[in-house]
Chain A
Amino acid sequence: MYEFVSGPLALISFAIFFIGIIARIVLYVKGLDWQLDRVAYSEKLGAGIKGAARSLFHWLLPLNRTTANHPIFMGVTYLFHICLVIAPIFLLAHVVLIEESWNISWVTLPDKVADYMTLAVIAAGIFFLIRRLVDPNVKILTTVSDYIVLAIALAPFITGYIAYHQLELGAGYKSWLIIHILCGEIMLIAIPFTKLSHFVLFFCSRIQLGMDYGIKRGGAKGRGIAW
């Protein structure tokens, strides 16, 4: 079982993930239409790139009004996303596995740091969950799929934590390890097909709106609006 989930299934998951996200990007760009969107994407590419860069800069960093207005939620969100992306990629155990299979490796995080990052992801996830259940503004927007997506994103971290610490929670280390790998694979596969596609579509959307502002909505005339 372990050989299967960490071998062929992992390969398939990575393939679906990579092909899937590339397809999402390609389809997104192909679906842009200068006249329907009313943005001269190619004619004013320079202004567009400037606007896109500004948009990404202000939102990848906490340099926007939304962060100023909602510092706690945005703080948690930034932390969640940073840890969620960094921890698995630079986790020693993951890098070792990849080195064994494909003979490539990169820098790793100290286990202690990765452990804290995992806890941060889980804690942030619980914060999001509670907010969904309690805040009337979020409640009215929430659908079943929001919970499923949150569960898919959190599962690899929760199971990874259990496996790493060899916690005896109804199953042995080996079982938890297999469950953890499966959860990771489910997440990879889910990314292109669910709301988790914002993994890449966030960038597409921000770049698009940045171009819209940079090209049309005052990019040429304004002092640069941080949208």
Chain B
Amino acid sequence: MAQEAKNQDLPPLVTRKAVKTKKELDILLADKGIRYYEEMEVFPVDTAALKKTLDATCKSRLRTWLEICAHCSLCADSCFFYLANDNDPKQIPSYKIKSTLGELVKRKGNVDTQFMINCMDTAWGKCTCCNRCGMYCPHGIDMGVMFGYLRGLCFSQGFVPHEMKIGSCMHWLYNAQMDVTVEDYVETCEWMAEENEEYYPGLEIPVDKVGADIMYVVNAREPKHYPQDLAEAAILFHLAGESWTVPSKGWEGTSLAMFAGDWACCKQQVEGVYAAMERLKVKRYVGTECGHQHRATITEGPYWAGRKSGEPPVPGFHYVEWVLEALETGKLKLDPAKKIKEPVTLQDPCNYVRNHGLTDVTRKIMSYIAEDFREMSPNREHNFCCGGGGGMNGIGRYRKERNIGLKVKRDQILATEAKFVVSACHNCWDAIRDLEEVYKIGIKWSFLKPILLDMVIVPDHLKPKEE
């Protein structure tokens, strides 16, 4: 009783609105999801608002997909969750969307709390929005797109995983997925440049340099947890002789808001990056080794920002595209003697391979860095999600489901007999690290930057002067 009385005095954690203040964020963070999910169990559905949203946004594409699904089950084995869960029919993409969004549309939003919780548990706990199923449906029904849409509906009703609610709040408050301010970021840049200047004379991380060729944008995890990544990027740009800059405001390219389904926040986030492109008058954008950074800022972002062309203000490139260009043009030269000798395999991230067509870029890079490159099967646009995409890695509530899902990637890696996995994506990198932690198959994994840095030939004029 005492606990209940105490809870009644506390501000509600589950709300239909996005959380946009530091005070609310701190309460959410302190809760760790316990009271949050308890509250959700009794949180009412605003059916009128849900119906209104459906009427306004669920248009012919989605309705047609739901209507013409032939219930043929051909999407079943396209889904890694289906495979990892011993071919459980309840994991068939078609079943998952039909029993959630399909019902929601059929009932015109007239659903209850338990129904919405099931929608949440399906949209985030049984789907990573990898869009693989859409490539296998004869009718061209992309269930990943529908789950993305369902996430938006869930968010608008307050039925969103704890960490995703926090993620969107971070973007509202910091324009970044973590609590890294512009000052923190600029300081980290200065710090990393100073740390490495001794070994790479003239090294700098130019902040807000107007008219640079490249505007480099990162994932907040880098300044927050792996600042060395930022230093590696700087060194490689430096050695390649690039004219580049990082923006102060608009430095973050990722969007947990996209995973959360907070579309208003997605718009705000991406507009900050676009404003930096315009302010700094750069020629192009290069985003770090992160898949959803590319998806959010380059692929989907233009639409959130209302850009009819579907293009960002300047051409957008993923880091792997820049690397290949630098290798092919000779801006970066690698020492062939340092090529990786042991068998290496490559993870294809859904967000820039299946969803942006960069199918061959990373393979060409592998030819520069690996002597024994082994493809996973299937690969390229047919590759399976790492198992942690779409925000799944970060959600405690679905950790068990995530770990089961990792089995597919584990078996793909084992089949290559390689013990080294290259992953130019943060989410994939995390998932592969976690699968090693859970299944202990004895693998190493790496981003491209450390590998390149290990092999790159430093031009004489950029070497430190001997004392």
Interface residues in chain A, defined as those with a beta carbon under 8 Å from any beta carbon in chain B: 27-40, 43-44, 55, 59, 64-66, 69-70, 73-74, 77, 135-143, 146, 195, 197-198, 201-202, 204-206, 208-210, 212-213, 215-223, 225, 227
B308 within 8 Å of A (CB atoms): yes
Binary interface profile of B, 360-373, with partner A (CB < 8 Å = 1, else 0)? 10000000000000
- Complex alpha-carbon distance, A66 and B61, angstroms: 22
Which chain B residues border A201 with CB–CB below 8 Å? 64, 67-68
Whether B59 and A36, one on each chain, are in contact in the complex, defined by CB atoms closer than 8 angstroms, is yes
Which chain A residues border B300 with CB–CB below 8 Å? 38
Residue from B89, B135, B356 in contact with A139 in the complex, judged by beta carbons closer than 8 Å: B89
4 closest Cβ pairs, A-B complex: A218-B357, A222-B357, A31-B60, A40-B310
Whether B73 and A141, one on each chain, are in contact in the complex, defined by CB atoms closer than 8 angstroms, is yes
Residue from B59, B65, B76, B306 in contact with A137 in the complex, judged by beta carbons closer than 8 Å: B76
Which chain B residues border A37 with CB–CB below 8 Å? 59, 61
Which chain B residues border A36 with CB–CB below 8 Å? 57, 59
- Complex alpha-carbon distance, A202 and B141, angstroms: 10
Whether A227 and B67, one on each chain, are in contact in the complex, defined by CB atoms closer than 8 angstroms, is no
Shortest distance between the CB of B271 and any CB in chain A (Å) = 14
- Complex alpha-carbon distance, A201 and B69, angstroms: 11
Whether B309 and A206, one on each chain, are in contact in the complex, defined by CB atoms closer than 8 angstroms, is no
Q: Which residue of A lies closest to B82 (CB)?
A: A137
Residues in B166-186 with C-beta less than 8 Å from chain A: none
Residue from A34, A55, A205, A213 in contact with B65 in the complex, judged by beta carbons closer than 8 Å: A205
Beyond contacts A35-B303, A137-B89, A225-B359: 6 other A-B pairs, Cβ-Cβ < 8 A, are A139-B89, A208-B140, A209-B142, A221-B357, A222-B359, A222-B381
Residue from A44, A140, A210 in contact with B90 in the complex, judged by beta carbons closer than 8 Å: A140
Binary interface profile of B, 69-107, with partner A (CB < 8 Å = 1, else 0)? 111111011000000000101101011001000000000
Between A and B, 18 residue pairs with Cβ closer than 8 Å are A35-B303, A38-B310, A44-B309, A66-B138, A137-B92, A138-B72, A195-B68, A206-B139, A209-B134, A213-B357, A216-B310, A218-B356, A219-B357, A221-B358, A222-B356, A222-B357, A227-B135, A227-B381
Residue from A28, A210, A217 in contact with B299 in the complex, judged by beta carbons closer than 8 Å: A217
- Complex alpha-carbon distance, A34 and B299, angstroms: 13
Which chain B residues border A29 with CB–CB below 8 Å? 60
Shortest distance between the CB of B258 and any CB in chain A (Å) = 11
Which chain A residues border B137 with CB–CB below 8 Å? 66
Which chain A residues border B71 with CB–CB below 8 Å? 138, 141-143, 146
Residue from A38, A213, A219 in contact with B303 in the complex, judged by beta carbons closer than 8 Å: A38
Residue from B61, B136, B140, B310 in contact with A32 in the complex, judged by beta carbons closer than 8 Å: B61
Shortest distance between the CB of B267 and any CB in chain A (Å) = 11
Main SS at interface, chain A: helix
Whether B360 and A223, one on each chain, are in contact in the complex, defined by CB atoms closer than 8 angstroms, is yes
Shortest distance between the CB of A120 and any CB in chain B (Å) = 18
Which chain B residues border A209 with CB–CB below 8 Å? 134, 140-142
Shortest distance between the CB of A31 and any CB in chain B (Å) = 3
Whether B64 and A65, one on each chain, are in contact in the complex, defined by CB atoms closer than 8 angstroms, is no
Main SS at interface, chain B: loop
Residues in B121-142 with C-beta less than 8 Å from chain A: 134-142
Q: Which residue of B lies closest to A215 (CB)?
A: B310
Shortest distance between the CB of B364 and any CB in chain A (Å) = 12
Between A137, A195, A209, the greatest number of chain B beta carbons within 10 A of the residue's beta carbon is seen for A137
Shortest distance between the CB of B91 and any CB in chain A (Å) = 10
- Complex alpha-carbon distance, A213 and B357, angstroms: 9
Whether B68 and A198, one on each chain, are in contact in the complex, defined by CB atoms closer than 8 angstroms, is yes
Q: Which residue of B lies closest to A196 (CB)?
A: B68
Q: Which residue of B lies closest to A37 (CB)?
A: B61
- Complex alpha-carbon distance, A221 and B321, angstroms: 10
Which chain A residues border B68 with CB–CB below 8 Å? 195, 197-198, 201-202, 205
Shortest distance between the CB of A81 and any CB in chain B (Å) = 10
Whether B382 and A65, one on each chain, are in contact in the complex, defined by CB atoms closer than 8 angstroms, is yes
Whether A55 and B357, one on each chain, are in contact in the complex, defined by CB atoms closer than 8 angstroms, is no
Residue from B59, B94, B138 in contact with A31 in the complex, judged by beta carbons closer than 8 Å: B59
- Complex alpha-carbon distance, A168 and B308, angstroms: 64
Whether A227 and B73, one on each chain, are in contact in the complex, defined by CB atoms closer than 8 angstroms, is no
Q: Which residue of B lies closest to A145 (CB)?
A: B71
Between B76, B139, B357, B360, the greatest number of chain A beta carbons within 10 A of the residue's beta carbon is seen for B357
Q: Which residue of B lies closest to A59 (CB)?
A: B138
Residue from A31, A143, A202, A225 in contact with B63 in the complex, judged by beta carbons closer than 8 Å: A31
Which chain A residues border B360 with CB–CB below 8 Å? 223
A32 in contact with B138 given A137-B73, A217-B354, A222-B358 (CB within 8 Å): no
A141 in contact with B92 given A218-B356, A220-B357 (CB within 8 Å): yes
Whether A195 and B67, one on each chain, are in contact in the complex, defined by CB atoms closer than 8 angstroms, is yes
Residue from B64, B74, B76, B138 in contact with A28 in the complex, judged by beta carbons closer than 8 Å: B64
- Complex alpha-carbon distance, A212 and B69, angstroms: 19
Residue from B65, B87, B136 in contact with A66 in the complex, judged by beta carbons closer than 8 Å: B136
B113 within 8 Å of A (CB atoms): no
